[in-house]
A = this chain, B = another copy of it.
Amino acid sequence: MARRVRRSNGPLDLREQAILRAVIEEYVATATPVGSVALVERYGLGVSSATVRAILAELEAAGYLDQPHTSAGRVPTDHGYRYYVSSIVDSPPLSPVEELMIRHQFGQVEAASEHWFRLAATTLAGLTHAAGLATPAKPRAARVRRVDLVAIQDRLASLILVLREGSIKQILLSLDEAADQAALSAAAERLNRLFTDQTARQIDATLVRFDPDDPANILVRKVAERIARSMREFDTALIEEFFSDGLLNVMEAPEFAQSDKLRRVFSALENRAWLGELLRGVASSGRVQVFIGGENEPPEMHDVSLVLAPYGRPGRAVGVVGVLGPTRMSYAHAIGTVRFVGGLMNELTDQLS
């Protein structure tokens, strides 16, 4: 008699929490539905399997767990994972050893900032055994750091445009009339004097005041217009670049062993609109965020989770690093790792102005 019935849908009591955690951890480790007996055996809960069964039934009724079929163990739902994740906001950080290893890897890469974000993705992939994701830090509005012009042929020049925050663009220019390296260098010098630290909008404003009849302005104007155009493109792009590594790690998870689910996930990643919106949200939130299975809008992403952290300087230049893994993922570890790598990227980008 006296069957346990949840008195309310209020917060879970301590024992329920413990069992939910145990189910999730066991399931994350084994990838098979977990039953009441295994639970009491491996987690020393101090009660019998029958009691655990009663609680499992409650947790299922409350939507935290699910049962693939009548006589199978329980599996966490997205809702269950969400509860679990919110209970570990203050997750244990990485071990000092791991931190040192990561810092060492970044030390190797010779301060080539345009490669940092790739390295972040690779590192995250290695540490979490999931896919690592990263975008470069993208300023809200690009500013010129340095302009250079190199002669290639008579009427062909290479424009090298270095933006603040370390992005470099190389653009081929075809000129209206021949110009030697000296002329190009002079033009570049003038461009630097005029436009260093300026945004596309500011360049446009300056150009308006140019004397259209002065022949000395022709080359400079042409290049400046090209620069402004390139910067406008850069500004309007949602994500300039997007790097992922270790997608193969995810393939190893048994839930993706054979189905083509994973392939759909990969294609969905090409959907820049959704991803861009997501990343933008994370970037402006300023903290680590977790998106679990069905919480992701595209149906293809319902079987995977994302753990994302922003880095950079809010309002100036921001990027995102994170991991993508199966919903059945070690969130505590993933969150700790992503948080640390995000912090490291903060430090690194701080060095660059």
A→B interface (CB under 8 Å): 110-114, 145-146, 148, 150, 152-153, 156, 158, 160, 162, 166, 168-172, 248, 251-252, 257-258, 260, 263, 266-267, 351-353
Contact B146 A146 (CB under 8 A): no
Partner of A263, one of B114, B252, B260: B252
Partner of A351, one of B145, B172, B257, B351: B172
- Could you say which of A110, A113, A170, A252 has the most chain B C-beta atoms within 10 Å of its C-beta? A170
Minimum distance in angstroms from A245 CB to a CB of chain B:
11
Minimum distance in angstroms from A111 CB to a CB of chain B:
3
Contact B162 A148 (CB under 8 A): yes
29 A-B residue pairs with CB within 8 Å: A110-B171, A111-B172, A112-B169, A112-B171, A112-B172, A113-B170, A113-B172, A114-B170, A145-B158, A146-B148, A146-B150, A148-B148, A148-B162, A150-B162, A152-B352, A153-B353, A156-B351, A158-B162, A158-B352, A160-B160, A162-B170, A166-B170, A172-B351, A248-B266, A251-B263, A252-B260, A252-B263, A257-B258, A257-B260
> Within the assembled complex, what's the spacing in Å between the Cα atoms of A158 and B257?
46
| B residues near A170, Cβ cutoff 8 Å | 112-114, 162, 166, 168
> Within the assembled complex, what's the spacing in Å between the Cα atoms of A169 and B160?
12
Minimum distance in angstroms from A223 CB to a CB of chain B:
14
| B residues near A171, Cβ cutoff 8 Å | 110-112
| B residues near A251, Cβ cutoff 8 Å | 260, 263
6 closest A-B pairs by beta carbon, nearest first, are A111-B172, A258-B258, A146-B150, A248-B266, A168-B168, A248-B263
Q: How many identical subunits does the complex contain?
A: 2
Minimum distance in angstroms from A100 CB to a CB of chain B:
21
> Within the assembled complex, what's the spacing in Å between the Cα atoms of A112 and B240?
14
> Within the assembled complex, what's the spacing in Å between the Cα atoms of A169 and B168?
9
Contact A152 B248 (CB under 8 A): no
| B residues near A152, Cβ cutoff 8 Å | 351-353
| B residues near A172, Cβ cutoff 8 Å | 111-113, 351-352
> Within the assembled complex, what's the spacing in Å between the Cα atoms of A49 and B145?
74
| B residues near A153, Cβ cutoff 8 Å | 353
| B residues near A252, Cβ cutoff 8 Å | 260, 263
| B residues near A114, Cβ cutoff 8 Å | 170
**A173: nearest residue on chain B (CB-CB)?**
B111
| B residues near A162, Cβ cutoff 8 Å | 148, 150, 158, 160, 170
- In addition to A113-B172, A152-B351, 18 A-B residue pairs with Cβ atoms within 8 Å of each other are A110-B171, A111-B172, A112-B169, A112-B171, A112-B172, A113-B170, A152-B352, A156-B351, A160-B160, A166-B170, A172-B351, A172-B352, A248-B263, A248-B267, A251-B263, A252-B263, A257-B260, A258-B258
